[in-house]
Structure 1
Amino acid sequence: MNFLVILISILLSVICVLLALLQHYYFITKFYKKPSSKYAPEFEDLIPSDRKNLYELGYPIQNLNQDEDSVLNYLTSALKSQPKKISENINIISQNPKKMGIDTEVYNVLQAALAFKSAGKNNKAMKLFEHASAIAPDNADVLNWYGEFLEQQHHDIVTADELYFKALTHCPNHEAALSNRERTAPVVDRLDYLLFKTIDNKKDYLKDRMKLDNFDSVKKQAYYLHIYHTVGIEGNTMTVEQLRYVLETGHVVSGKSIMEHNEILGLEKAMQYVKLLIRTDYIGVTEILGIHRRVMGHVDPIKSGVFRDEKVFIGSHIPPPHEEIPALMENYAEWLNSEEAHSMHPVRYAAIAHYKLVDIHPFVDGNGRTSRLIMNLILLKAGYPPVMILKEQREQYYQALKTANMGDVRPFVRFVAHCTLQILDMYIYGTRFLSIDGSSEAENHVIHY
């Protein structure tokens, strides 16, 4: 009798364990389902792993200059071309600013702007509208008039829509802004859809081009440019040639601080770690801490890979208290791996993941670099090349983040989308420049893409 009781107890225990395992498996597959990673991502090798083989360029570093490194010079110039904004024509509605309770200076500026606009002197009107929005950035009427001017005179419906949104954040019941945005929002959504479609077309074109061209030289140069711009946004003053010298030789550059050297070494380690994470199914808190540990490991070993334990201020943005960081990061990781996130277009998903991490600001330092690496990890896993934000785009980058903090994340998503187009063009023009076949037909295909 006792034997049967023991046997039944053991069987029930085994059944309970099996049920628990099945429940756990169901939970993981249900809520953390990812695209299969049992393949080699197309752009995985854009992050070199063998420094000696991939960095060897066939000429001494000390002889490097812009004239000799034509590939680097070509790619840099290709990157500096900024995408043009798309828009539609609509009619402008003029109103009397004096009735809106605006202070005298802004009123005078707006009166002059409207007068110049009526006289057809749009350049002068534009400067005055910019000045009015600078001295009264919270005034819904100013923002709305400025948006209307941009729509009619500059055919810039995207920026106009952003201004209408800002106007509504300061005055939710503003009738003109509500009417304007009701008209522009669907158009802008359509333009964003076309932007993502263009990105996907160029990505597919690049994948085909990579099979035909000598891609190694482009990849080497892009790797250095990526590190150069990523640390450059944070204030690092090393040139591409100098950081390349540091990475290839392990020697220091005279006149540059230890901090600048360590930032470069740390970012390289973090990029190698991101390459390992491309084939993993789950991006969790451990992986995020691992990226930060490598980014800041050489700069601040004590605070690298750990959440901040102090309050920080980022301009006008105040991140959440440090006591909330662990819970917020668990929620962030849950969102990263959710069906909601994976249902987005990869570029939108990557951009929002970047913004969410910067908004939490979980570390004392290195938040921007870590966020950009998370963004690129998502893009690489989805088959897109890693995005680089240029030093020259620093102001635009931070302005887009500031706008996201105000409640409109679309300009930041759009900014990342344009950066994605930018990097695709760099690789496409680079592969054309180094094309093995050299046929004019292939060149024209790229030029008129």
Structure 2
Amino acid sequence: MKEYFNVAYTFESNRIEGNTLTLQETHLVINEGITIGGKSMREHLEAINHAEAVAYLEELVGKKGDIYNRTLLELHYLILKGIDRENAGRYRSVPVRIAGSKHVPPQPYLVDKMMEDYFTHYQAQRKILHPVILAAEMHERLVSIHPFVDGNGRTSRLIMNLVLVGNGYTIANLKGDQASRLSYYRALEAVQVHNDPAPFYHLVADAVLDSLEQHLEMV
């Protein structure tokens, strides 16, 4: 079950970001070490790296690990390992824009302070907010700060799942098909531009419920 759901999570999370490996190809790359003809080296590395990051997430949960600056940077490093050596595991020092979004991420000189506030918010809310709401918030806040040059989405979804799995939930898998991806971006933009978190809370809660139901069906 773990292999099935983790491969599906890697497939969908990478699919959101434009990776074209199919679910079966993702399985073959991760678990069989097979090279897929016609697919780029980057796409292969994205699958392998994400699988390693999920394994690290589970290791953190097993050790009762929490969300700290080091944890976040290590997850991001795993995502970009071998793809972007210069920026893997490092906050950005340049301005960035999110293609197709009205949200403009903060200037790079603001990132360090905003990330300090990010971790402070987590520590203040971790025993107050419902875990699903907290997971959604940690995801949205991180992707809105956009602290990295690349890999923000995948890292934000890993942090979301670190909160969920650490609180006894199964991995929530946000889908990467065109309709689901559009709903995901719209829900994020509702928070970022209109300060309305409800659509994103519902999106994450629905993914959590769907994951739990799928696990129960397989049991």
TM range (shorter): over 0.9
1:358-406: CA deviations, max 9, x gaps?
1110001100000000000000110000100111311111110010111
Per-residue deviation, residues 169-209 of structure 1 (Å, max 9, x unmatched): xxxxxxxxxxxxxxxxxxxxxxxxxxxxxxxxxxxxxxxxx
Q: How far does residue 266 in structure 1 lie from its aligned partner after superposition?
A: 1.1
Tell me what 1:263 maps to: 46
SS at match of 2:126: helix
Contact 2:50 2:79 in 1 (8 A): yes
The CA distance in 2 between the partners of 1:275 and 1:298, in whole Å, is 22
1:194-248 CA deviation, whole Å, 9 max, x = no partner?
Answer: xxxxxxxxxxxxxxxxxxxxxxxx3332121111111111111111111111112
Q: Which runs of 5+ in 1 are unaligned?
A: 1-217, 432-449
User: 1:21: which partner in 2?
Assistant: none
Which residues in structure 2 correspond to 1:218-257 (within 5 Å)?
218-257=1-40
1:85-115: CA deviation from partner (whole Å, max 9, x where unpaired): xxxxxxxxxxxxxxxxxxxxxxxxxxxxxxx
2:194 equivalent to 1:410: no
- Relative distance call for 1:312 and 1:345 in structure 2 (3 A) is same
Q: Which residue in the other structure is 1:344 paired with? A: 129
For residue 251 of structure 1, report the CA deviation from its aligned partner: 2.9
Letter in 1 for 2:137: I
Question: Which one-letter code corresponds to 2:202 in the other structure?
Answer: R
Deviation at 1:335, TM superposition (A): 1.3
Q: Which has the larger radius of gyration?
A: 1
Q: Which has the higher contact order (CA 8 A, sep 6+)?
A: 2
Alignment TM-score, normalising by the size of structure 2: 0.93
Count of matched residue pairs: 213
1:399 aligns to 2:186 (yes or no) = yes
Q: How does 1:12-411 map to 2 (within 5 A)?
A: 218-278=1-61, 279-314=63-98, 315-338=101-124, 340-392=125-177, 393-405=180-192, 406-411=194-199
Distance 2:70 2:2 in 1: 29
Kindly state the Cα deviation for residue 252 of structure 1 after the two structures are TM-superposed.
1.1
Q: Deviations over 1:282-309 (max 9, x none)?
A: 3111110110000111221211100011
Aligned-pair identity (%): 34
What's the CA shift for 1:281?
4.8
Residue type of the alignment partner of 1:324 = L
For the 8 Å contact 1:346–1:378, the answer to whether it is kept is: yes
- Tell me how far apart the structure 1 counterparts of residues 25 and 67 of structure 2 sit (CA, whole Å): 33
Instruction: Please say if residues 350 and 378 of structure 1, whose CA atoms lie closer than 8 Å, have aligned partners that are also in contact.
Output: yes
**CA RMSD, 1 decimal:** 1.2
Aligned letter for 1:302? E
Aligned-partner SS, 1:400: helix
Question: Quick check: 1:427 aligned with 2:183?
Answer: no
Q: Distance in 2 between matches of 1:219 and 1:379?
A: 15
Work out whether residues 263 and 298 of structure 1, in 8 Å CA contact, stay in contact via their aligned partners in 2.
no
Q: Could you tell me whether the CA contact under 8 Å between 2:6 and 2:51 is conserved in 1? A: no
Greater displacement, 247-256 / 378-387: 247-256
